[in-house]
Amino acid sequence: MQKIKYPNPHRKISKPDQGEEHKLKQITCFKCRGQGRYARNCPSKHKGETDSNHVSSTSVILNIKTDIAILSILRIHTYINNKKVRAYVDLGSSVVTIKQDTLRDLGFSFYETETAPLIGYGNGQVKPLGLFTANLKIDDVVMKVPIHVVPSTSQSVSLIVGHPYTEQPNIVITSKPN
């Protein structure tokens, strides 16, 4: 029986009329637009930058304007035990949080607990100082919710309203123009 040799599919076969030099002339570096090299072999000192008209600071400014517009839509007036508080509705937050200074200004107290740190809070985590339960009123809908007390430096708004209020079956959230 005779062994049959199959060609190696990974072996590069060059055509006689096309040498390596011809192939390299067709290659263009996407970093510096130079001919005859791949980007991974680019001698350019500005690795990772491309020649384009896009300015990254412009996109950041646009994102900030968008974020500010969204923040203004989701900021509302609420009442905690009949005391007015400016709040931010965060549909992704699994808790309701209040700044310690805001709680003190309202004249409320809280009890310290051994609650777990809030993960994903401001791109990090924060350990709540304590917890209290209060009646939270938004647009004539009152619900008793647990509210985590956080250090005043950990959030810029007085109150963040999350899932304990927003994800109730009788709550429907709509946005309205200013």
At 108, which CATH number?
A: 2.40.70.10
Q: Is residue 23 part of a domain?
A: no
Q: Is residue 58 part of a domain?
A: no
Q: Is residue 2 part of a domain?
A: no
Full residue range of the structural domain in which residue 105 is found: 75-166
What's the structural domain count of the chain?
Answer: 1
What whole-number distance in Å separates Cα of residue 112 and Cα of residue 164?
20
pTM equals 0.58
Q: Is residue 45 part of a domain?
A: no
Q: Is residue 156 part of a domain?
A: yes
Task: Region of 41 please: left (phi>0), alpha (psi -120 to 50) or beta.
Answer: alpha
Q: Is residue 141 part of a domain?
A: yes
8 A C-beta contact, residue 68 and residue 74: no
Q: Is residue 55 part of a domain?
A: no
3-state secondary structure (DSSP) of residue 31: coil
Mean pLDDT, rounded, of the chain? 75
Q: Taking the alpha carbons of 162, 165, 170, 171 in that order, is the dihedral positive or negative?
A: negative
pLDDT tens digits, residue range 56-67? Answer: 433 333 343 445
